[in-house]
């Protein structure tokens, strides 16, 4: 079973070899059966139409619904410049030849070629697909779907980036989930990824926090529960500031006002005063320690915890100097501004330094990018930040471009919409941990309702956590990033409909098929499998979906949409579940049972790989 088919060789045997370097770098027939078909179809269609191989290869599209074929091509896209051909007629003519066994243009291993509207649709021969895809999955295992799209390319993916002492809000959660997914996907596709968390750990509010900690802080609580405690302190000291203002206790510039003390404190920090920095460093350290634990629940381990505080002053100075040299800065009432409307009207004017000389969020981002480029020499850098910061991001991207950094065009902003109504059960402010704990508890309650099943689970609490986490993540990833969505406990935790628990259930059920097969499954890897026994339509359709997986990942690399993979995994799971009634394993003749088991097993592996890329931990029982 684990003998990996050599589809490159098969293409050679059929005399199909593109001489285009570009296509060679795009195509992976040995890892992706659909690429085998792409080459095959392109070759024949190019010959029958006289249209360039490259043009056709680029125009072949994957199809989302099985009725519409496996690959399809919109004829107008390849007729560019060819006058006098009607796409709605010529497609019928070509399709007839491509599907005719007696024609020299006949495409082998294809079940049918159909012309409709302006398209030609190609339906793969499922027997060929089964024979090649199942062993491919069985031999690649956790790597099925991985295509080495690049070699030795570096990418930095910056995501999550919460602010110390402030709530980890829904925006940070989304950034975390999407960024974790992108990290996995890029790694899977051969990139050298550095995942980075750019903490909001600098600015006047840390002066305020330090002042507040002297009044309200407790060392003990800080080390036990830093994130909640710092937030508590922050809320209290902010209340003091408000109260002082409202009750007119101090005027704004009274040196004794809390606000002023905070400003002075931060000024000391910015000037490098060690005693002032010491306490801040502890806040930072404790928070990071706690974050590491929480992120681990989401399968995320950062390569780098950076932060606004870590941007070297000299990089910020360098940026400011360049801005002057390039004549980008003008002064207005003592403030330094940069006018970006010259380059793009929407970008407006923006402040680049504060009157007291301390840096701003924007300039820190400019300095941080310069620093990162010098350190990592990345080929690409992705920022996963909420769309509320579209303007901010576009501004610092434009500034970097205007400063003349040629790598500025390697930056990409992956944005997303809002989450509405995310609060804990008690309705308190949300920290990631609280949300995950709540979900876990709820999931645990749901699981306990099925007593018999519950008893079979080894570590029910752990499973409840993993399934709960999937619920949160899938709810977040199942629609296009840019859409807003409402955080809904009931729907998210349901086992029905397209939810995280449903995917987990689909995986655990496939696991149980393998378990129940006992020794048959244990010997599967080394068994001879008679694939011709998988002649049912549902088996063919299931393998068609399984074979699309590498392509789906490739699409996701382009659109950076986790929903592309989510949608696919739901289609896969639905296809599997429609096979259960028809393709039994238990009680079948050995040969039949083995073949079916091999099919289910490749479905499970594919589901597993997709879930892992999304950042989930597939469970074996639930």
The DSSP string of 214-242 is HHH--HHHHHHSHHHHHHHHHHHHHHHHH
Counting Cα atoms < 13 Å in the Cβ hemisphere of 317 gives: 3
Chain position carrying tokens 């050995």:
590
**Quick check: is 172 catalytic?**
yes
Closer of 123 and 291 to ligand ARG (Cβ): 291
Residue closer to ligand ARG (CB basis): 385 or 513:
385
Choose between 5 and 367: whose C-beta lies nearer to ligand ARG.
367
DSSP state of 163: B
Q: Closest Cα to residue 122, out of 212, 36, 24?
A: 36
> Among residues 97, 169, 442, 560, which one is catalytic?
169
CB of 394 to ligand ARG, least distance (A): 12
Tokens of 65: 């619904």
Closest separation between CB of residue 291 and ligand ARG, Å?
Answer: 13
Q: Which is nearer to ligand ARG, 269 or 311 (CB)?
A: 311
Look at the chain and count its residues: 622
Residue with smallest beta-carbon separation from ligand ARG: 200
| Nearest approach, Cβ of residue 287 and ligand ARG (Å) | 13
148 is an active site residue: no
The token duo for 124 is 């793969």
Task: Provide the CB-side half-sphere exposure for 510 (13 A, CA).
Answer: 28
Return d(Cα 544, Cα 547) in angstroms, integer. 5
Q: Which among 140, 172, 204, 560 is annotated as catalytic?
A: 172
Taking the complex as a whole, the smallest distance from the CB of residue 361 to ligand ARG amounts, in Å, to: 7
- Residues 386/415, Cβ–Cβ less than 8 Å: yes
| Residue 166 is among the residues annotated as catalytic for this protein | yes
Cβ closer to ligand ARG: 231 or 383? Answer: 383
Residues 360 and 352: beta-carbon distance below 8 Å: yes
Helix axes 204-216, 258-270, angle to 10 degrees: 120
Question: Residue 195 Cβ, how far from ligand ARG at the closest point, in Å?
Answer: 13
Long-range contacts of 319-326, Cβ-Cβ distance < 8 Å, separation of 24 or more: 319/363, 319/366, 319/367, 319/370, 319/399, 319/403, 320/352, 320/353, 320/363, 322/403, 322/404, 323/352, 323/399, 323/403, 326/402, 326/403, 326/404
Q: State which residue, 280 or 600, has the beta carbon closest to ligand ARG.
A: 280
CB of 411 to ligand ARG, least distance (A): 10
From the candidates 166, 245, 444, 480, which is the catalytic residue?
Answer: 166
Which residue ranges make up the site for ligand ARG (CB under 6 A)?
Answer: 158, 161-163, 198, 200, 365, 383, 385
What residues are annotated to the active site? 166, 169, 172
């Amino acid at each position: 079973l684990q003998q990996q088919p050599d589809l490159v060789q098969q293409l050679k045997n059929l005399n199909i070899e593109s001489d285009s370097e570009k296509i060679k770098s795009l195509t992976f027939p040995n890892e992706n059966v659909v690429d085998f078909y792409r080459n095959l179809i392109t070759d024949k269609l190019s010959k029958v139409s006289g249209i360039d191989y490259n043009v056709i290869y680029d125009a072949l599209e994957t199809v989302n619904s099985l009725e519409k074929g496996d690959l399809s091509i919109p004829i107008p896209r390849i007729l560019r410049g060819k006058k006098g051909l009607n796409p709605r007629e010529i497609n019928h003519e070509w399709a007839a030849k491509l599907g005719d066994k007696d024609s020299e243009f006949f495409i082998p291993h294809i079940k049918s070629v159909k012309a409709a509207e302006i398209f030609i649709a190609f339906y793969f021969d499922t027997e060929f697909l089964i024979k090649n895809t199942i062993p491919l999955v069985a031999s690649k295992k956790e790597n099925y779907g991985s295509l080495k799209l690049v070699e030795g390319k570096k990418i930095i993916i910056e995501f999550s980036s919460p602010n110390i002492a402030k709530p980890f809000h829904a925006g940070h959660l989304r950034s975390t989930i999407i960024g974790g997914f992108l990290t996995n996907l890029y790694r899977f596709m051969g990139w050298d990824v550095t995942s980075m968390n750019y903490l909001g750990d600098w600015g006047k509010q840390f002066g305020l926090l330090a002042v507040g900690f002297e009044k309200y802080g407790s060392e003990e609580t800080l080390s036990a529960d830093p994130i909640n405690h710092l937030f508590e302190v922050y809320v209290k000291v902010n209340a003091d500031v408000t109260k002082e203002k409202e009750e007119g206790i101090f005027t704004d510039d009274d040196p004794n006002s809390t606000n002023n003390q905070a400003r002075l404190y931060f000024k000391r920090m910015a000037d490098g005063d060690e005693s002032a920095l010491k306490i801040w460093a502890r806040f930072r350290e404790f928070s990071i320690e706690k974050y590491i634990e929480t992120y681990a629940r989401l399968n995320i381990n950062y390569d780098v915890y950076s932060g606004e505080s870590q941007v070297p002053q000299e990089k910020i100075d360098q940026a400011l100097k360049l801005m002057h040299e390039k004549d980008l800065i003008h002064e207005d009432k003592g403030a330094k501004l940069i006018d970006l409307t010259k380059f793009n009207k929407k970008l407006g004017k923006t402040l680049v330094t504060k009157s007291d000389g301390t840096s701003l969020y924007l300039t820190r981002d400019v300095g941080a990018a310069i620093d990162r480029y010098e350190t990592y020499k990345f080929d690409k850098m992705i920022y996963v930040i909420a769309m509320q910061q579209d303007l901010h991001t576009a501004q610092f991207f434009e500034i970097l471009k205007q400063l003349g950094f040629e790598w500025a065009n390697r930056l990409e902003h992956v944005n997303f919409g809002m989450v509405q109504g995310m609060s804990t059960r008690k309705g308190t402010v949300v920290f990631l941990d609280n949300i995950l704990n709540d979900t876990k508890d709820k999931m645990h309650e749901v699981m306990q309702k099925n007593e018999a099943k519950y008893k079979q689970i080894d570590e029910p609490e752990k499973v409840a956590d993993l399934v709960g986490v999937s619920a949160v993540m899938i709810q977040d990833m199942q629609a296009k990033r840019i859409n807003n969505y409402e955080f809904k406990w009931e729907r998210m935790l349901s086992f029905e409909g397209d939810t995280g628990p449903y995917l987990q259930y689909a995986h655990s059920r496939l696991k149980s098929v393998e378990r129940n097969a006992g020794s048959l499954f244990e010997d599967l890897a080394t068994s001879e499998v008679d694939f011709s026994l998988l002649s049912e339509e549902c088996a063919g359709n299931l393998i068609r979906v399984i074979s699309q997986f590498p392509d789906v990942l490739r699409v996701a690399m382009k659109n950076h949409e986790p929903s592309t993979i989510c949608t696919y995994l739901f289609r896969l799971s639905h296809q599997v579940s429609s096979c259960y009634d028809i393709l039994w394993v238990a009680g079948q003749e050995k040969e039949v049972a083995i073949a079916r088991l091999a099919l289910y097993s490749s479905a499970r592996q594919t589901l597993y790989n997709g879930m892992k890329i999304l950042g989930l931990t597939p469970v074996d029982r639930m």
